[in-house]
Structure 1
């Protein structure tokens, strides 16, 4: 497992010729030409060099630059010339960003001033050794081997070989406490381990993360969720009590037993649900429809699969507030409603988009619905229709979470038969949903204007009631033509009067 204190050593290997691709050079050339025309000496630093050495490609590339002074003025004028978006990230530290879409990809260019008199001392202020390397910008375009030209005073290249995350200095987390969480997001993204001393510093400085803005925490958290090993990282974050600093709602979940249907307390069950969900993700990779759904970007490049991992963490967050003891039994009646309220507080605190927030709320609130359907040997078509209607675009998300939730439940009263029935029901609903998506959308027999005109009714709540009833009846095959639809509509309207 990564994010551990174990350090892996590798035998030395012969370095291959290191150079940027012609594509990268063509993207970077306008920036270089602009800097050259203004006699500004730029250095390429951090992630771009790290990824070049690792031969790691990114969907939306980013390049970090530093210069002695004047970064805000330089970045603003460059963005104006290249017709790119520009934003000041941190006025105090003279950090700014230029963003430009080129051939369908979103390229990010960050500029900062030296935070020390020399380049080497500036690099000491970078977060980790693997990001504390630099290259004079003009050398990007040379034919020489960049291995010999990279400035690497803190042995970042060696740490890349050893596959470890190591702070540049013992004050790294004090300079920016977000780096505590970034250590884990880098560990996930690169599949690296944390250096022993770095992990010790994480434990020592962890409370400083309280001072970090929720937006910055959100970005690192979703980098962890975006990886295939989020569970491993969250287990370590949980073990050293960082996760509950970020989400105090977690602490009450610890140690709450759940009765004979469960083998874990609420919080350990939550983590196990995430583990099971990551296993499910691996098993559905061969299904393009499910993969396309999970790869959808809901907002700001954040994928539905990452949001669903967050939903795994939140799905039982309402249990401590709903806990009751009835006739010696532990019950959590209504915990999905309590959970919805807490989920709303959490997503707003993280400043997720409204679309992401609504999706999380719906998933948490509806996560028990597949289980209710599985209680019946043969759920009715009406019940199935209402499930799909109520969960909407999150229908598949809820089904996948329900599957992971059930697999994380292994108490003595959870029988093999009940588990099989649940799996069978969920998988049949997934097949039904995917088949429905491949078919043409059913055309309604009537719209609202039709109903108002035929029955001489004004616009009102009743029209919506009639339309919903007609849609349900059509979906389950109760009505098959306009004549039958009119008859049902008349019946509903008469009953309302």
Structure 2
């Protein structure tokens, strides 16, 4: 807040030609903290930005110089200065996206509310919690604004005006012309919200999804099958909802809950956390079904190996949408292994299989177990078989408890140096194999103490000599 009066003092007379616009005004009205400031300059924005950087001890960055925007960074705050579009501030505001962002105030008016320039009714729309587009050309000027409308709805819990919805739907196809990085940035911000399933449904209602992800149209063609009475795409959104319910309620034993929470909060690429990327993985967990349809002699639908096909599709989709490598790797694992826990439930699982599953996937086994529970819950609810859900929830909880036990085996009973010195093991490959076998047998419950581990190695050495 101190940034604005400080900037006024430092700019002196030049402050009269500078307006603060957009999000800062909106957030001040909503009593939200803002660290990003957008200014419109009547004159030369580059000169004003350089002067502000010099006077405030900030760094000058020619951020989008080709569009007349210049940035200065002061501590953890970002100030953008842009040349006025049109002959005056009113014409400039007419090219903003939504009324709640199409307000301005002259810098020298010290943020007195009565001086807010509000030609499109932004103050009223904030009061009514409405998102309304400014002009008929709003989405043609920048099609990404369609996604921004959903993001603002998700962030501020506003409703999108019906006329704006109609316009978004009419021009949703224009999103195909937007850089994928910009699209994914908006989508990531949407899925970070606690109840993002509501806004994924809103994106579906506005025809945005199928115009971003070409794979969605195919999923919608996958209709009734043994597992659900709705198409695979609607089922996938419902599965995201169930996942959000699961991680919100967190009905697990304390040791399991602590481990799950730690995993979900792990950072990915800047701004993203594991818990958010799991949502995206669940949204596309059935992405391979459309290409894996098999109809048997009794006219029943099957989707054999759809998880393998899905992993191939998600890799291509992630590449096309420029999704970061970390996120892509997690998405592929979620799609490829989402079916495994249900297979274990149906067919049974032993220590050997479970150890391999955990050893291969490490902490991502947690994400896959949660995704499987969400998938199963959504399917059972759609099929009217909610009485099946508690049994599967108990099964997943048991597997999560076993993963806690698996994590406890990470700290070895014997260090590599102990084994080298006491058993004269000099071959690195053999040393690694011994450590692996001790850990595996600890998970099986056959080795419990350091003494057990020593006896295990002695017996192993004895057998090798025979």
TM-score, L = length of structure 2: 0.86
Paired residue for 2:64?
A: 90
Please state whether the residue corresponding to 2:396 is helix, strand or coil.
helix
The answer to whether the 8 Å contact 1:285/1:291 transfers is no
Give, in whole Å, the separation in 2 of the partners of 1:211 and 1:74. Answer: 33
Paired residue for 2:439?
A: 471
Q: 2:412 aligns with which of 443, 468, 473?
A: 443
How big is the shift at 1:450?
Answer: 5.2
Q: 1:265 aligns with which of 221, 231, 239?
A: 231
Paired residue for 1:208?
A: 174
The answer to whether the 8 Å contact 1:262/1:414 transfers is no
How big is the shift at 1:186?
Answer: 0.8
Cα distance change on mapping 1:231 and 1:413 into 2, 3 Å: closer
Q: How does 1:323-334 map to 2 (within 5 A)?
A: 323-328=293-298, 329-334=300-305
Of Structure 1 and Structure 2, which has the larger fraction of its residues in helix? 2
What are structure 1's unaligned runs of at least 5 residues? 1-23
What are structure 2's unaligned runs of at least 5 residues? none
The size of the alignment, in residue pairs, is 457
Q: Which moved more, 1:266-275 or 1:154-163?
A: 266-275
**Does 1:389 pair with 2:359?**
yes
**Does 1:355 pair with 2:355?**
no
The answer to whether the 8 Å contact 2:17/2:43 transfers is no
Paired residue for 2:195?
A: 229
Cα distance change on mapping 1:187 and 1:362 into 2, 3 Å: same
Cα distance change on mapping 1:263 and 1:204 into 2, 3 Å: closer
**Does 1:306 pair with 2:282?**
no
**Does 1:35 pair with 2:4?**
no
Cα distance change on mapping 1:384 and 1:136 into 2, 3 Å: same
Paired residue for 2:29?
A: 53
Give, in whole Å, the separation in 1 of the partners of 2:124 and 2:84. Answer: 24
Give, in whole Å, the separation in 2 of the partners of 1:96 and 1:488. Answer: 71
Please state whether the residue corresponding to 1:63 is helix, strand or coil.
strand
Cα distance change on mapping 1:64 and 1:412 into 2, 3 Å: closer
The answer to whether the 8 Å contact 1:130/1:156 transfers is yes
Paired residue for 2:249?
A: 283
Please state whether the residue corresponding to 1:297 is helix, strand or coil.
coil
Higher relative contact order (CA closer than 8 Å, sequence separation 6+): 1
Q: 1:248 aligns with which of 214, 221, 232?
A: 214
The answer to whether the 8 Å contact 2:131/2:158 transfers is yes
**Does 1:315 pair with 2:315?**
no
Give, in whole Å, the separation in 2 of the partners of 1:347 and 1:37. Answer: 50
CA RMSD of aligned residues (A): 3.3
The answer to whether the 8 Å contact 1:448/1:467 transfers is no
Give, in whole Å, the separation in 2 of the partners of 1:383 and 1:325. Answer: 31
1:27-70 per-residue CA deviation (whole Å, 9 max, x = no partner) reads: 44554444338667322111111111112346xx3222221243
TM-score, L = length of structure 1: 0.81
**Does 1:407 pair with 2:377?**
yes
The answer to whether the 8 Å contact 1:46/1:134 transfers is yes
Q: How does 1:68-79 map to 2 (within 5 A)?
A: 68-75=42-49, 78-79=52-53
How big is the shift at 1:413?
Answer: 8.2
Cα distance change on mapping 1:280 and 1:316 into 2, 3 Å: same
